[in-house]
């Protein structure tokens, strides 16, 4: 899995909205207990919000975003 994080999202480049949505669809149905998941780095802050609001949407306090050098790093709690 070269260039991929533990969950399968790339860590060496920005994640596209399409990749994140597809991953969220796959993973949301497999998870039994809530936990924090790294959801990749994004070049666009709007994509961070879109993936967090994609079904199933995250609730209050279930999204963390860290910005550094024009990149946005996202963690979701689900």
Model pLDDT for residues 56-72, shown as the tens digit of each residue: 888 889 999 999 999 99
Report pLDDT for 11: 79
Residue 48 has pLDDT above 60, yes or no: yes
Report pLDDT for 7: 60
* Rounded Cα distance, 18 and 47, in Å: 10
* Rounded Cα distance, 32 and 44, in Å: 30
At 25 the three-state DSSP class reads helix
Over residues 7-25, the mean pLDDT reads 82
Report pLDDT for 1: 37
């Amino acid at each position: 899995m070269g260039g991929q994080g533990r969950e399968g999202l790339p860590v060496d480049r920005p994640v596209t909205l399409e990749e994140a949505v597809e991953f969220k669809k796959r993973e949301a149905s497999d998870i039994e207990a809530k936990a924090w998941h790294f959801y990749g780095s994004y070049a666009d802050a709007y994509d961070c919000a879109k993936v967090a609001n994609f079904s199933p949407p995250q609730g209050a306090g279930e999204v963390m975003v860290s910005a550094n050098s024009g990149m946005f790093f996202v963690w979701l709690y689900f």
